Structure 1
Amino acid sequence: MKQAYVDDCPYYLDDFLTNMKVVKDRSDRTEEAYFIDIRTFLRYLNVKHHAVPAETPFNKIKIKETPIEWLECFSLNDAYVYLKYLKDERNNSTKTRARKCSALKQFYVYLCQKAKIISNNPLDDLELPHINQALPKYLSLEQSLELLRNIDSKNQVRDYCIITLFLNCGMRLSELVGLNLSDYSRDNRTLRVLGKGRKERIIYLNDACVSALDEYIDTTRPHVEQTAIFLSANKTRINKRRVQQIVDEQLQRAGLSNLGITTHKLRHTAATLMYQHGGVDTLVLKDILGHKSIATTEIYTHLSDENIKKAMESNPLSEEIEKKKK
């Protein structure tokens, strides 16, 4: 975690983050995300209790000395007032408020049940803001083929391999840039990826992925002392931003830049193609994508429902409505 965060962290928040890191094995990025969300709450408490001058910018409020007693006397009604503050004063979206609410609930569970720093948990019955689940954007089979057929760059073999893995394996951006040579088993035709929460999973590769990986590793990948599979022009591990740029550039070449497609939407595309065209069961798809809950995977069944509806409407008899006899 950044030193500036550590320096401004109250002891009870530091204990919670240590528990997240050591016991729950959360990543550094997750640890910082929890700190930032809970810091917003503690800054709010400082405003609520008039502990800082009124003219102090919100993002300049220090939280190091926030008394634990303020958290102890915080009520369920206070929590709903806080959520209203996030909406009205901080202009937080429903999704952002739900995330901050979830982080706060976990924080209070730790303070009450684990650390026993406070005697009761006022947030036990706090309801998360309802999020309307939007159907994910994705490329059709034809658009995916168009993207692959139009890839052209100085590092064409590498870029083709990257996009092939996205479209076939449905891996996350962080998983792709984190791939090492030792994660690829040619004999077993598998990749070992490190997903959310540092959870490892094995991805079985099809012919397209094996061919793209072998060609890149054997012919164009620089022969340097680097563990990463995908290297930048500087012969170091490629970073997330560069991969996003590669995807954007190739989408533009294929005439698909106006669809709002990102690296994560390519993950949606892989899942959708597997479900709709490959007949992959949702439980199997859950394991392929590394989802923690089947509910996350079931979004792709809704996409299929939309296709079924369109198919019914495309029936040539769909507009043949019996005319009323006069």
Structure 2
Amino acid sequence: MDEVIGDYESYLRFERDLSPHTVRAYLGDVRALLGHLGGGIEGLDVSALREWLAAQQDAGKARATLARRMACLRTFTAFCHRRGWLPDDPGLLLGTAKTPRALPAVLDQEQARQVLDAPSLGEPKDLRDQAMLELLYATGIRVSELCGLDVDDVDRDRRVVRVLGKGRKERAVPFGVPALRALDRWCVHGRPLWMREGSGPALFLGVRGGRVDAGTVRRVVHARLRQVEGTPDMGPHGLRHSAATHLLEGGADLRSVQELLGHASLSSTQVYTHVSIDRLRRAYDQAHPRA
């Protein structure tokens, strides 16, 4: 089992170039499957796969978790078949679990304004936190993309940030004047005070001078939202959802929002359209002769 797991991990990391989080999740799923089978891939057929998935469902696993595990199983069985360890690929016979495409709560535009206009004391931490919040909302980038930004990724003249997204796909995302001002304040008055020998080119730093991590960004977002009464509790991904929703409400077309968010498929972006029904109603009332 160790040899199979080791080869599969190398495949995920170096051939598929998946994120460390996805690699950990896939390896955990495969270890659980092989443990269910007795430690090896002997007897790995579609019946065994369905039996393991049924056990997961009986254990109360969420539909989204089951969908991810089905995707992992298909990747694993295809890998084993290509290596010659399985005579055929049983993953091809698995169905696809349908998961609800529901959004978490999003900020309305007034709540977003209050969150971002909260008073600051001007300390390095305040300057960094404000710059991170402004950039998250202005661009809709993922928290991992924010943490991976370097100083040179920000083009201040064009107000564009270069982002390395999923699958190491690079894209340029514009941002507005408030985010630019917040970034300038952090880079001039905050970041130099926290820089250390090993800081490198990281745009956002932690208090010890290293690159900021996703956990810190999440704590910053939660803390800021608690300061504004009536706002839903959400993390950085909630700001991403809010940015996408507000773009559509403001008249942006779906294809442009897809490009900004870095979605590989337009169907991933279409989930935001149902939260903009108020905009659709206003357009209908204005345009339809029998509204």
| CA–CA separation in structure 2 for the residues paired with 1:178 and 1:118 | 39
The answer to whether the aligner puts 1:239 opposite 2:213 as a matched pair is yes
Partner residue in 2 for 1:292: 264
After superposition, give the CA deviation of every residue in 1:280-319 in whole Å (9 maximum; x if it has no partner). 2111111111111111101111212365359989xxxxxx
Q: For the Cα contact (< 8 Å) 2:222–2:233, is it kept in 1? A: no
Instruction: Give 3-state SS (helix, strand or coil) of 1:202's partner.
Output: strand
Question: Using the alignment, how far apart are the partners of 1:39 and 1:289 within structure 2?
Answer: 33
SS where residue 91 of structure 2 aligns? coil
Q: Aligned partners of 2:113 and 2:101: how far apart in 1? A: 28
Q: Aligned pair in 2 of structure 1 residues 190, 310: CA closer, same or farther (>3 Å)?
A: closer
Larger Rg: 1
Q: Deviations over 1:216-241 (max 9, x none)?
A: 11122225342211122223222222
SS in structure 1 at match of 2:92: coil
Residues 299 and 151 of structure 1, relative CA distance in 2, 3 Å threshold: farther
Q: After superposition, what is the alpha-carbon deviation per residue over 1:79-123, rounded to whole angstroms, capped at 9, x for unaligned?
A: 32222100113x2111111111110011111212x2222111122
Q: Distance in 1 between matches of 2:103 and 2:22?
A: 25
Unaligned runs of 5+ in 2: 286-291
Contact 2:137 2:243 in 1 (8 A): yes
Counting aligned pairs with the same residue, the percent is 30
CA deviation vs aligned residue, 1:205-257 (integer Å, no higher than 9, x gap): 22222222112111222253422111222232222222111111111111245
Tell me the residue number matched to 2:13. 21
Shift of 1:171: 0.8
Which deviates more, 299-308 or 208-217?
A: 299-308
Q: Secondary structure at the match of 1:192?
A: strand
Instruction: Give RMSD over aligned pairs.
Output: 2.2
Matches within 5 A, 1:208-227: 208-223=178-193, 224=195, 225=197, 226=199, 227=201
Map of 1:301 onto structure 2: 273
Q: Distance in 1 between matches of 2:162 and 2:12?
A: 24
1 or 2, which has the higher helix percentage? Answer: 2
Using structure 2 for the length normalisation, give the TM-score.
0.88
**One-letter identity of the residue aligned with 1:99:** R
1:121 aligns with 2:121: no
Unmatched tracts of structure 1, length 5 or more: 1-8, 47-65, 314-326
Mean CA deviation greater in 191-200 or 267-276: 191-200
